[in-house]
C-alpha cells in the first residue's frame, strides 16, 4: 500500500473514503470533524443527537456526501472515552475504519490523524499508530487460495494522512514512514508463521532470512551441522535428531552505530513444526504447531525493521530453526545432552524442546558481549492458562531491562506481565544424572521453565518472554485478522528505539 501525507483541508480531499472521528460523549463535533460536519449540513451531529452513533472505540458509520465534498464516502470512527485515549486506541480506531473501507469497496482512503490534534499525542507517534493499525488490520495471506472476488482481493491501494497544519506535516511523514516499515515487518513475520511446515523447513526459513538480510542490509550467517557440531551445540542437535530436515541456526546483525554503541541480542525459538517428539502431542491441535517458530519469526521481523529504520544500536538476532519429530533417531526421555556452554541436561519430556534449543542459543549470545539479551518463545501451556491472550509472561534477572520491556509493551499494546524468578524454582529442576532436568513437572511450570533458561545465560542482563498465547488468534480482533499476530516485532522495535534515545 502507498502511504502519503497531504497538507490540506479534509473538505477538499478526493478519496473513495474519508475518515474522521468522534470521542464518546461529544455532541457537537469540533476540529476537522466539525468542519466536515458543517460541509455536510450537520449530518454527523444529527447522527449523534438521534442516538445512531455513540463514539464507542472502533464503532463506525458510513455517510454518503452526494457531491457536498469531493470524497465519495465519509467514515466516522469512534475513539472511545477521551480520558482513556492512547496510542493503542489510535491503532484500533484506524483498524476499524480501514476494515469498513474495505467492506464498502474503497480503493483509497484519506484520514485525519487520530490524536494528533485533540487527544494529546505527539504527531509522529499518532501518525505511526494510524498507519500500523491500518496496515496490520488489512493483512491477508492468500498465497495458496484462488481469489474468490477479484475486486475485493485488490484491496486498498493508497492511504493518505491529511493534516491542515503545514508545520506538522514533516512530523507526520516521519511517523507514517516508521509505521509503514514496522507494519510491513510485522506482516513479514506473519507470513513466515502462516507458511505450511512442508514449505517452511529450517533450510527454507534460513534462505528467506538470507534474502531479507540482503534486501535490507543486514549481515547474515547460517550455521549448519558442521558448525553446530564444532561449537558443541549438542542440546540443539539432540532435538533435531528425529527429523530429516537438518537444523539451521540463523545469525543476523545490524550495526547501526558501530562498536561503540550498546549491543542488544534478540533470541527467538524456531521450532518449525513440533510433534512433541517421542512424547507425542494430541492429534486434534497438532496442526497449530506450525506456529512454534513464531518467536524466531518475530526476531527476523524486528531485525528487518531495525535495519530499515537504521536504529543506532548494534542489534543481533539469533534464530535456531529445528524440527521436532519422532523416529528411530529421535532423542528420548532420560537421554542426557551436553550443550555449547558445557552444561548437561537430562531429558524428561521431549515435548519440552523449545527451551533446549534456546539453551544453546543463549550460550551463543554471550560471544557478542551484549548489554542485554531477550529471548522470545512459544514455550508453555502454563502461560496460556495464567495470562490468556492478553499479555506475555516476562521473567528477567535485571530490573532495568524488565522496566524497558514493560514500557515498550505499554506503548505498543503488546503487553507483558512480569513474574518472579525465585531461586526456590531451581529445586524442581534438580537431576540425579545431569546438572538440570528439562522440565520441573506440572506445578510452577511457567517459572521453572524460565529458571531452566537462566541456567544457560552467561553473565549478561537477560529477559525471557513466554508468548504461547499471543502469537495466534482463532478469530479476528482489532487489527489482528484470524491467524498469526506477529507479536513481538513491534515490542522489540519500540524497545530498541527507546533504548537508542
Provide the annotated active-site residues.
281, 355
Q: Answer whether 253's CB lies under 8 Å from 315's CB.
A: yes
Q: How many CB atoms lie within 10 A of CB 251?
A: 22
> What are φ and ψ of residue 389, in 5° steps?
-85, 30
What's the grid cell of residue 358?
534456546
What's the grid cell of residue 123?
504527531
Q: Cα(481)–Cα(137) distance, rounded to whole angstroms?
A: 6
- Report H helices in 346-444: 354-365, 381-387, 399-412
Q: What string of DSSP letters covers 174-199?
A: HHHHHHHHHHHHHHHHHHHHHS-TTT
Q: Cα(53)–Cα(44) distance, rounded to whole angstroms?
A: 9
What's the grid cell of residue 11?
473538505
Q: Answer whether 312's CB lies under 8 Å from 500's CB.
A: yes
175, 181, 182: which is closest to 5 by C-alpha?
Answer: 175
- How far from the centroid of its chain's Cα atoms is residue 167's Cα? 32
Q: Give, as one character, the DSSP assignment of residue 374.
A: E
Buried b (16+ CB within 10 A) or exposed e, 88-99: bbbbbbbbbbbb
What's the grid cell of residue 74?
465519509
Q: Cα(493)–Cα(412) distance, rounded to whole angstroms?
A: 10
Would you call 263 helix, strand, or coil by DSSP?
strand
Q: Cα(81)–Cα(25) distance, rounded to whole angstroms?
A: 8
Q: Give, as one character, the DSSP assignment of residue 26.
A: -
Q: Answer whether 483's CB lies under 8 Å from 472's CB.
A: yes
> Which residues are 249's β-sheet partners?
223, 320
- Report H helices in 146-271: 150-154, 169-194, 202-216, 225-231, 234-240
Q: Give, as one character, the DSSP assignment of residue 224.
A: -
161, 188, 133: which is closest to 413 by C-alpha?
Answer: 133
H or E element, residue 102: helix 87-103
Q: How many CB atoms lie within 10 A of CB 398?
A: 15
Residue 433: is it exposed, middle or buried by C-beta count within 10 angstroms (0-12/13-18/19+)?
exposed
Q: Within the chain, what is the greatest distance between any pair of CA atoms?
A: 81
| Intra-chain end-to-end CA distance of the chain, in Å | 29
Amino acid at each position: 500500500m502507498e502511504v502519503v501525507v497531504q497538507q490540506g483541508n479534509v473538505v477538499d480531499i478526493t478519496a473513495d473514503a474519508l475518515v474522521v472521528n468522534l470521542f464518546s460523549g461529544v455532541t457537537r463535533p469540533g476540529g476537522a470533524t466539525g468542519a466536515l460536519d458543517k460541509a455536510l449540513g450537520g449530518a454527523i451531529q444529527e447522527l449523534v443527537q438521534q442516538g445512531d452513533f455513540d463514539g464507542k472505540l472502533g464503532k463506525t458509520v458510513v455517510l454518503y456526501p452526494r457531491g457536498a465534498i469531493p470524497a465519495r464516502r465519509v467514515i466516522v470512527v469512534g475513539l472511545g472515552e477521551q480520558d482513556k485515549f492512547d496510542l493503542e486506541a489510535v491503532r484500533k480506531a484506524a483498524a476499524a475504519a480501514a476494515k469498513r473501507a474495505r467492506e464498502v469497496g474503497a480503493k483509497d482512503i484519506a484520514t485525519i490523524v487520530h490524536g494528533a490534534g485533540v487527544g494529546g499525542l505527539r504527531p509522529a507517534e499518532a501518525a505511526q499508530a494510524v498507519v500500523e493499525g491500518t496496515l496490520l488490520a488489512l493483512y491477508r495471506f492468500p498465497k495458496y487460495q484462488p481469489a474468490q472476488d477479484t475486486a475485493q482481493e485488490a484491496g486498498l491501494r493508497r492511504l493518505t494522512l491529511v493534516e491542515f497544519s503545514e508545520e506538522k506535516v514533516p512530523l507526520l511523514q516521519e511517523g507514517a514512514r516508521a509505521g509503514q516499515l514496522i507494519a510491513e515487518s510485522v506482516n513479514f513475520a506473519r507470513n513466515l508463521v502462516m507458511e505450511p511446515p512442508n514449505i517452511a523447513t529450517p533450510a527454507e526459513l534460513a534462505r528467506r532470512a538470507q534474502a531479507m538480510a540482503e534486501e535490507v542490509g543486514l549481515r547474515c550467517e547460517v550455521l549448519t551441522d558442521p558448525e553446530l557440531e564444532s561449537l558443541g551445540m549438542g542440546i540443539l542437535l539432540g532435538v533435531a535428531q528425529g527429523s530429516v530436515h537438518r537444523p539451521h541456526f540463523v545469525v543476523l546483525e545490524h550495526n547501526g552505530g558501530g562498536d561503540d554503541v550498546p549491543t542488544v541480542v534478540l533470541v527467538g525459538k524456531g521450532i518449525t513444526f513440533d510433534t512433541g517428539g517421542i512424547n507425542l502431542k494430541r492429534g486434534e491441535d497438532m496442526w497449530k504447531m506450525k506456529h512454534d517458530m513464531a518467536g524466531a519469526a518475530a526476531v527476523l521481523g524486528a531485525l528487518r525493521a531495525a535495519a530499515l529504520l537504521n536504529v543506532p544500536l548494534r542489534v543481533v538476532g539469533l534464530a535456531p530453526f529445528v524440527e521436532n519429530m519422532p523416529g528411530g533417531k529421535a532423542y528420548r526421555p532420560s537421554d542426557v545432552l551436553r550443550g555449547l556452554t558445557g552444561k548437561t541436561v537430562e531429558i524428561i519430556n521431549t515435548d519440552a524442546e523449545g527451551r533446549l534449543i534456546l539453551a544453546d542459543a543463549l550460550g551463543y549470545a554471550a560471544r557478542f558481549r551484549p548489554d542485554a539479551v531477550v529471548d522470545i518463545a512459544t514455550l508453555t501451556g502454563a502461560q496460556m492458562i495464567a495470562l490468556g491472550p492478553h499479555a506475555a509472561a516476562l521473567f528477567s534477572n535485571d530490573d532495568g531491562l524488565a522496566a524497558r520491556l514493560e514500557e515498550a509493551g505499554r506503548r505498543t499494546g503488546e503487553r507483558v506481565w512480569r513474574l518472579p524468578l525465585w531461586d526456590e524454582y531451581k529445586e524442581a529442576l534438580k537431576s540425579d544424572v545431569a546438572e538440570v532436568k528439562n522440565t520441573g513437572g506440572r506445578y510452577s511450570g511457567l517459572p521453572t521453565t524460565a529458571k531452566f533458561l537462566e541456567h544457560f545465560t552467561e553473565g549478561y542482563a537477560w529477559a525471557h518472554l513466554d508468548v504461547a498465547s499471543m502469537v495466534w488468534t482463532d478469530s479476528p480482533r482489532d487489527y489482528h485478522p484470524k491467524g498469526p499476530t506477529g507479536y513481538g516485532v513491534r515490542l522489540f522495535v519500540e524497545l530498541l528505539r527507546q533504548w537508542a534515545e
